[in-house]
């Protein structure tokens, strides 16, 4: 294939998708999403292909997200390229979610944003000692998309809300503990595991089970009670008030973290998880997230977040509204309104 940023090939009875953009920590582009969709559709109809593996080539991460700088530039103009990207990326997410053949994703290294979107739909999600999982979108005025409203809202207790708001990073053991990963393997074992699956894809579960190692203690266990108690509300101001009233070092650290995030993005994220918890159809979730993304990408906070973090790198975003109180329910309702007829997100024909 011509797009060398993602390599798609077959190995025996499996299809292989290998992200190959190491200088960008394999961040996804529109063309990469299109190439993955084309391969998955071809393998779906090929009886000789029994399973699919998704991993990355060289570098320290599985996938750091999407092409955020492009999204920022597009959002600052007419938003058309951003909408095209989200439409294609979400089609890929949905295709993986509904794929009938087993998919194994190797979350070895940084797995954030778009990397979450292509790993969470997989039947088997492999974490290692290198895994660093996060949905840090509120830092740049965005929200945990690519199915975040579905996946995060289904985590134990209030962990999903905590992760969505703070962008906290999880290691591999924590991913296993929370169900974000299904297996924990030493990174040194991955090549042999991939080869074994290629030789006999009918034994995926057995191969992964035999290669699994005991995970270290999940650090997040020590904070679950505080997370459930202090992040209990779906009202952002109430969460801030709970943290302010708690004098523990942990609460004050998380409060300081939230003070750096976009108030609009935090309220959008809470609404997304609240709604997503009741959604029973993943296509519906993707349709809603597309409407939200299409609007948020053209609002001030996204452009300002990209500027502060990735362009000027002054880490001093000027959010507007600057306070949670300034983000009205009407503003959030407008962001979540359905797209106009003919502009909605649509899944691939299955």
pTM more than 0.95: yes
Q: Whole-angstrom Cα distance, residue 69 to residue 175?
A: 28
Residue of 15, 65, 114, 172 marked active site: 114
Q: How far apart are CA 5 and CA 210, in angstroms?
A: 32
Q: Is 66 a catalytic residue?
A: yes
User: Is 348 domain-assigned?
Assistant: no
Residue 211 belongs to a domain with what CATH number? 3.90.226.10
Residue 349 in domain: no
pLDDT score recorded for residue 275: 98
Nearest to 328 by CA among 263, 256, 231: 263
Question: How many domains is the chain partitioned into structurally?
Answer: 1
Reported as half-sphere exposure (CB side, CA atoms, 13 A), residue 92 has a value of 30
Lowest mean per-residue pLDDT among 53-62, 179-188, 241-250: 53-62
What's the domain range around 70? 6-336
- The angle that helices 236-245 and 249-258 make with each other, rounded to 10 degrees, is 140
Catalytic residue, candidates 15, 65, 66, 109: 66
pLDDT, residue 1, reads: 41
**pLDDT per residue over 200-246, tens digit each?**
999 999 999 999 999 999 999 999 999 999 999 999 999 999 999 99
Q: Which two tokens stand for residue 189?
A: 């074992």
Q: Which one is catalytic: 55, 137, 285, 304?
A: 137
145 counts as catalytic: yes
> Per residue in 78-107, pLDDT tens?
999 999 999 999 999 999 999 999 999 999
Round the average pLDDT of the chain to a whole number and report it: 96
Which listed residue (145, 174, 254, 289) is catalytic?
145
Return the pLDDT at 69. Answer: 87
Residue 321, preceding peptide bond in cis (omega within 30° of 0): yes
**Per the domain annotation, does 191 fall within a domain?**
yes
The model's pLDDT over 248-287, given as tens digits with 9 standing for 90+, comes to 999 999 999 999 999 999 999 999 999 999 999 999 999 9
Q: Is 137 a catalytic residue?
A: yes
Q: Which long-range contacts (CB under 8 A, 24 or more apart) does 209-212 make?
A: 209/183, 211/183, 211/185, 212/183, 212/184, 212/185
């Amino acid at each position: 294939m011509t797009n060398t940023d993602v390599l798609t090939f077959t190995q025996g009875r499996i299809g292989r998708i290998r992200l190959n953009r190491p200088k960008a920590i394999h961040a996804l582009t529109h063309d990469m999403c299109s190439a993955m969709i084309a391969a998955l559709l071809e393998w779906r109809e090929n009886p000789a292909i029994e399973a699919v593996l998704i991993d990355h080539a060289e570098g320290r991460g599985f996938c750091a997200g999407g092409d955020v700088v492009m999204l920022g530039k597009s959002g600052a103009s007419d938003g058309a390229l951003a909408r095209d990207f989200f439409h294609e990326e979400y089609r890929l997410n949905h295709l993986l979610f509904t794929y009938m053949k087993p998919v194994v994703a190797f979350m070895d290294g940084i797995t954030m944003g778009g990397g979450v979107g292509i790993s969470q739909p997989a039947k088997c999600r492999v974490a290692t000692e290198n895994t660093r999982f996060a949905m840090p979108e509120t830092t740049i005025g965005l929200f945990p998309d690519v199915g975040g409203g579905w996946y995060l809202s289904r985590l134990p207790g209030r962990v999903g809300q905590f992760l969505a708001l703070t962008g906290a990073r999880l290691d591999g053991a924590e991913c296993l503990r929370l169900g974000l990963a299904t297996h924990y393997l030493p990174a040194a074992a991955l090549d042999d595991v991939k080869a074994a699956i290629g030789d006999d894809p009918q034994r995926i579960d057995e191969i992964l089970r035999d290669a699994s190692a005991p995970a270290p203690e999940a650090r997040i266990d020590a904070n679950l009670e505080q997370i459930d108690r202090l992040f209990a509300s779906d009202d952002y101001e109430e969460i801030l008030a709970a943290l302010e009233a708690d004098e523990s070092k942990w609460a004050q650290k998380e409060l300081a973290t939230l003070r750096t995030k976009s108030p609009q993005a935090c309220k959008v994220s809470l609404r997304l998880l609240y709604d997503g918890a009741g959604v029973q159809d993943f296509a519906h979730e993707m349709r809603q997230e597309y409407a939200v993304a299409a609007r948020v990408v053209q609002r001030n906070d996204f452009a300002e977040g990209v500027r502060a973090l990735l362009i000027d790198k002054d880490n001093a975003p000027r959010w507007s509204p600057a306070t949670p109180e300034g983000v009205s329910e009407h503003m959030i309702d407008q962001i979540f309104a359905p797209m106009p007829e003919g502009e909605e997100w649509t899944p691939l024909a299955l």
